[in-house]
Amino acid sequence: MDRSLRTMLAIALAALAAAGLTRGIRSARAGLEAANAEQAAAAQAVARDDEKPKARDAEKAKPVVVPFRMLPTNHMLVRAKINGKGPYHLIFDLGAPITLLGNKASEESGVVEAGAPRSFLFGMRGEADIDKLEAGGLTATRLPVIVFDHPILGALGEMIDERIDGIMGFTLFARYRTTIDYQAKRMTFVPVDYEVRDLMKELPERMLGPKVAKERVLAPPGVWGIRLGKPEGGLDAPGVPVTRVDDGSPAQRGGLRAGDVLTTLDGRWTTSIHDVFAAAADVDPGRDAQIVILRDGKEVTLTIAPGEGA
């Protein structure tokens, strides 16, 4: 992806910043009924061996606790070490789609080199990785971040008279099942088996949508007997001009004339030819539909029932 586009996407993501299940441990049966004591002992030994990997899984999924401080702005502030440096002050934000780190903390912790190029806008350094983040009992490794100085964090830091170094967002908390105890001011994290996808890589495709555009063919089910012209005046056009009305057509029988300007059809505004076709597509043959036109500067309401055919 083009670097400038990635920069724009990172800024857009940062502007927004603002359920796994714990692995269970199956208990194995202590032994199997056997014909003699030797067979029972062997079965129990097998059961104990089978429990070892499960015990390791349980240890790996053990809950860890991270304390936090509530700011006057109701943000949760967490103290964390990054690559062994710090501590740094990070906002824990469940609404942030990225994890963000400011330039100073990034350089001090070795996330980026001091001489790495930066954008003129917010000192953007782009994407990087934190090798290890430690907060309370939590340790996260290979954590993707976006490096730049978010102006909101600067303003928030001035309000509380201390530096705020970044935001802990989706790329961190999506790895865990998180419980927040606001009274005790602590969070509990339990690892879950969830793959955190590269949002920066996937976002352009999500924003642009499918490569093959979905099409809707607007074909009125009935015959109206009119020809339309291009509205004049762009968005300020009062409606769609009628350039021709076929002899003996439902439109002629309903009183429509060439030169009329169609402003609504069946209760829907018609400021473009597309609008007219979309409204007409919902009127079944034989059903009366009210239309509003401008004729000689005056508003006139007519009733037309489209005929059968196509």
* Contact yes or no for 169/93 (Cβ under 8 A): yes
Q: What are the structural domains of the chain?
A: 3-19+63-208 (2.40.70.10), 226-304 (2.30.42.10)
pLDDT(210) > 70: no
25-60 residue pLDDT tens: 233 233 323 334 444 444 454 445 554 444 444 445
Q: What is the pLDDT of residues 274-308, one digit of tens each?
A: 889 888 888 999 999 999 999 998 999 999 999 88
**Contact between 17 and 95 (Cβ < 8 Å):** yes
Place of tokens 């508003």: 299
Tokens read off for 45:
């030994």
Q: What is the edge-to-edge ordering of all strands in the sheet holding 176-181?
A: 64-67, 186-191, 176-181
Predicted structure pTM score? 0.48
- Top pLDDT among 99 and 45 is at 99
Q: Which of 16, 18, 21 is nearest to 176 (CA)?
A: 21
| Element at 101 (helix H, strand E) | strand 100-101
Q: What percent of the chain has pLDDT over 90?
A: 35
Query: Mean pLDDT in the chain?
Result: 77
Compute the average pLDDT of residues 193-207: 63
- 257 phi, psi to nearest 5 deg: -130, 155
Band the pLDDT of 254: cuts 50, 70, 90. very high
Tell how strand 289-295 and strand 261-265 pair up.
Answer: antiparallel
